[in-house]
Amino acid sequence: MSLTFGELMHEGHRRRMYGKLKSGDNLYEHELLEILLFNAFQRKNTNPIAHALLDAFGSIAGVFNAEVEQLCAVEGVGESVALYLKCIGECAARSAEGGSAVISLRNYEDFRRFVCMRFRDKAEEALEMYCLDKSGKVKKISSFTSDEIDRVQVDADRVAKIIAAVKPHGLILAHNHLSGSSAPSENDDRFTMEVQLMCSMNNVALYDHCIYASDKNVFSYFSTGKIDAIKRSFSFDRLVGEQYKREKKP
């Protein structure tokens, strides 16, 4: 499909603007907003809308902090564009809060709500690992799925590599059951034991392993006391000590 003369002019203008952005030119606020709006308007001159937004809200910060209804009141801005700008504003605000980790899991209820949000609409079994810093902020989320709709298996070596790379203070596991029951299987117990042993070897705290079946049916190794029992039995120091005692016997 061939472009009209006007569309060709817009394409050339966009390429020039992208070039300025790429080269690190000191762009004006209306130019930054204009480039941002390229994704919202595929073949339309975004310069007038950028100026209209800045006239209405004073700055890019004002645009990002505006409510959806206020953005929609600006000529040329529909609801989809307003939501697009609102989402970018939310992303910018969270980034300004200080970094890579803004999700905090400080107690069981925080974690339970987070697990429900993460697994509520999943149509296949999945397993997730949440690496936490000392204050409970999530440093990294690792997700695993498989080709089988009702099973997911994760090699212990992959878990060990993630722990070695991220160096978390603590670790939380979560996965879902599509059967309707959140009761842990023998494989679930075995995997939890393996991860606990790896955590113990790397001085990482394993806080919990949750199994999600529905929002009202979530099993927690922590709240049932199973995680403490596993920690007592699968501590690296304990296993080494038991091995030492066996070797010392005449």
- Residue 5: pLDDT band (50, 70, 90) is very low
pLDDT at 46: 85
Residues 35-51: pLDDT tens digits? Answer: 889 888 877 888 899 99
What does the pLDDT average to over 118-124? 88
- Residue 236: pLDDT band (50, 70, 90) is low
Residues 128-169: pLDDT tens digits? Answer: 999 999 988 888 889 888 655 556 677 778 888 999 999 999
DSSP characters over the chain: -PPPHHHHHHHHHHHHHHHHHHHT----HHHHHHHHTTTT-TTS--HHHHHHHHHHHSSHHHHHHS-HHHHHTSTT--HHHHHHHHHHHHHHHHHHTTSS---B--SHHHHHHHHHHHHTT-SS-EEEEEEE-TTSBEEEEEEEE-SSTT-----HHHHHHHHHHH--SEEEEEEE-SSS-----HHHHHHHHHHHHHHHHTT-EEEEEEEEEETTEEEETTTTTHHHHHHHHS-HHHHHHHHHHHHH--
pLDDT at 23: 83
What does the pLDDT average to over 183-198? 93
Work out the percent of the chain whose per-residue pLDDT is above 70. Answer: 84
Q: Is a pLDDT exceeding 80 seen at residue 1?
A: no
- Is pLDDT larger for residue 234 or for residue 209? 209
Hey, what domains does the chain have and what are their CATH numbers?
5-96 (1.10.150.20), 108-248 (3.40.140.10)
Q: Is a pLDDT exceeding 80 seen at residue 243?
A: no
Q: Is a pLDDT exceeding 80 seen at residue 239?
A: no
Residues 69-85: pLDDT tens digits? Answer: 999 999 989 999 999 99
pLDDT at 222: 95
pLDDT at 226: 96
What does the pLDDT average to over 107-117? 91
